[in-house]
Amino acid sequence: MSEYQLTAVGHIHSPYKQKFAIPRQPRLVPEAKAKLVFTADFNREEFVRGLDEFSHIWLLFRFHETADKGYSAMVRPPRLGGNERKGVFATRATFRPNAIGMSAVKLEGIEYKNGQLSLLLSGIDLLDGTPILDIKPYLPYSDAMHEASAGFADTRPETDMSVEFSEESLAFIAKQTDYPELKAFISNVLKQDPRPAYKKQRESTQSYGMTLYDFNIRWFVTGDHNTVTSIEKC
Ligand code: SAH
């Protein structure tokens, strides 16, 4: 058996505080901003010198929240309504051998502040605290394959759900001057329809909650409509 030990080079500080409602791939919600904070061993400007020339980067990370749950040979991709199975290597499922994830994200900047090196990112699909195993520049000439086909995941998931906000939630958002994109962020997260696939067939109205940053957000879904009812500070 070949076994390897891996070390986190950094950790993600993300507005997504729980798995529920995280988009299923990066760049679907551009307002999702995060910081990659380097660990002590990698907290040196030399490690990232030249990286600022790239607009996008690959992150390789550990699905740390679910890694101890192991893997299955076959999984049910949400794309297929959660009732058809595919081999785990034919999917981007989290329950996989080694629990390694990869995301191509936008690099907004590199920060070196009070002795701490961080990457500023957007469009992320990562849980708060995610350990980063490696970082590589995204190379369009090689990584972007325009002739590629992708079977059951060939198109960007449809996001034709509408999102409305109650008067109360709009009033709350208006006061959050530190989060100018909060309304667009919530809207775009809800448009991805974070509900588990099996719930989507339900006719009845159901209500849900999620935490973004330190805001508890509640909404209900009827058909293709989301209505944000309340937002509170945790
Ligand atoms: N772009 C990645 C992720 C695909 S799975 C890849 O292709 O490898 C996307 C899901 O991963 C999200 O919906 C989120 O719920 C989950 N996720 C994100 N960070 C995680 C973490 N640290 N541990 C476990 N699951 C995580």
pLDDT tens readout for residues 52-88: 999 999 999 999 999 999 999 999 998 898 889 999 9
At 55 the pLDDT is: 98
pLDDT at 38: 99
100 touches ligand 1 (CB under 6 Å): no
CATH number of 162-233: 3.30.2310.20
What's the confidence (pLDDT) of residue 202? 66
Looking at residue 205, what is its pLDDT?
A: 87
pLDDT of residue 135: 99
Is any ligand 1 atom within 6 A of the Cβ of residue 26?
yes
Ligand 1 pocket test target in 17, 22, 36, 212 with most atoms within 8 Å of CB: 22
Cα torsion 30, 31, 32, 37: sign: positive
Look up the CATH number of domain 10-143: 2.40.30.70
The parts of the chain modelled with pLDDT lower than 70 are 201-202
Domain with CATH 3.30.2310.20 in the chain: 162-233
Cα–ligand 1 centroid distance for 171 (angstroms): 32
In short, whether 128's Cβ falls inside 6 Å of ligand 1 is no
pTM comes to 0.95
Predicted confidence at residue 151, as pLDDT, reads 95
Question: Cα–Cα distance between 60 and 58 in angstroms, integer?
Answer: 7
- Taking the C-alpha atoms of residue 31 and residue 123, their distance in angstroms, rounded to an integer, is 6
Cα 208 to averaged position of ligand 1 atoms, centre (Å): 20
Which residues of the chain are in CATH 2.40.30.70 domains?
Answer: 10-143
**Which residue from 11, 63, 189 has its CB within 8 A of the most atoms of ligand 1, so it is best to mutate?**
63
Ligand 1 atom closest to the Cα of residue 19 is 15
Q: Print the SS3 string covering the chain.
A: CCCCCCCCCEEEECCECCCCCCCCCCCCCCCCEEEEEECHHHCCHHHHCCHHHCCEEEEEEECCCCHHHCCCCEECCHHHCCCCCEEHHHCCCCCCHHHEEEEEEEEEEEEEECCEEEEEEECCCCCCCCEEEEEEECCHHHHCCCCCCCHHHCCCCCCCCEEEECHHHHHHHHHCCCCCCHHHHHHHHHHCCCCCHHHCCCCCCEEEEEEECCEEEEEEEECCEEEEEEEEEC
